[in-house]
Structure 1
Amino acid sequence: MENEGIQATPKDIFSSVDSILIGQVPRFGVFAMAAKKSEKSKNGNQKAGSKSRSPVERIVVWGGILLLLALVATEGYARYSYTTSLEKLRIALQEDEVGDQDPLTVDQAKSMIVGFPKESTAGNQLTFQFRGLIKDFGSIHLTFDPNQMNIIGLETEQVEEEPVEEVAE
């Protein structure tokens, strides 16, 4: 068996010794061809072994990615708004029951709402509905005294999530 795979000339050997001294890896046979292809791709030619995508395809792909990111951000903000608003209102009403301070007014309650919920008033009940583009995260119903405009009750209507069933194997 003779050297069947790699055939190196003295020029290749000396250039590889020089490259080792400089700190580069010597290139023989298949590795030399791969290195030449990668050098071509660095020089502005196409990448080795891949096709370039058309600008329309890139726009469609990046547009889809940005659309999905916007959807996730919108749903996340709606959920965050609901939970934060509910927590703030519950804390304020608990402090009302314990403390000697003035009762929570409708205007103060409105200032504690985070985000952009749909607001509606029916009789003596103020309702905030928190919806994303896909999912409804719930409603906060504030009952108030119409004479003094003080909040006297808080009810929530949170949409129940369907339980995840475990698959038995």
Structure 2
Amino acid sequence: MISTRHFPRLRGKASSEPARPAPKPVKDDDFGPQSLLSREPLDFDLITQLTHMSAVATSGIARDRLFEGTAALDFSTSKYFRRVHRVAQRLNYDYSKACEVVADAARVESVQNLLLHFATALSAGEPEADFLQRETDVQLELYGKKYERDLESLRKWTDAYVALMV
């Protein structure tokens, strides 16, 4: 008896034409609301991305290459820098104006503030390396304080749980 259970079915049609390459996945640039269950590590990614940008900017790289390289990174915040780069390249805006445009569309307050500060610094002629170093320090301090508040909240909840269990 022949069993067909062990032979997988081919779902394609036979053809003498070469197979088409699979389409490249499109990176998500949606700024819309996300599900509460699929939260992105936005604060940590923002700090990591700012640290990377700060390190790269110290080399004196051109502004368009800085944004292009940052947009290519695989962080949850890369979509904002990708959008800034696209607006600057496709609409022929300068990067300070592109940062303002993307900040208006961003719904995350920390990213919106960062992009508006970046736009102000770029339009004032401040070097990217100086701004990014200062902004990285600010974001690290904010992240540290938020982390400490979260730990203190966890301690309070743990104390309340222990009080209920006893």
With structure 1 as the length reference, what TM-score do the two structures score? 0.23
Answer 1 or 2: which has greater helix percent.
Answer: 2
With structure 2 as the length reference, what TM-score do the two structures score? 0.23
Task: Kindly name which structure, 1 or 2, has the bigger radius of gyration based on alpha carbons.
Answer: 1
Structure with higher RCO (Cα < 8 A, 6+ apart): 2
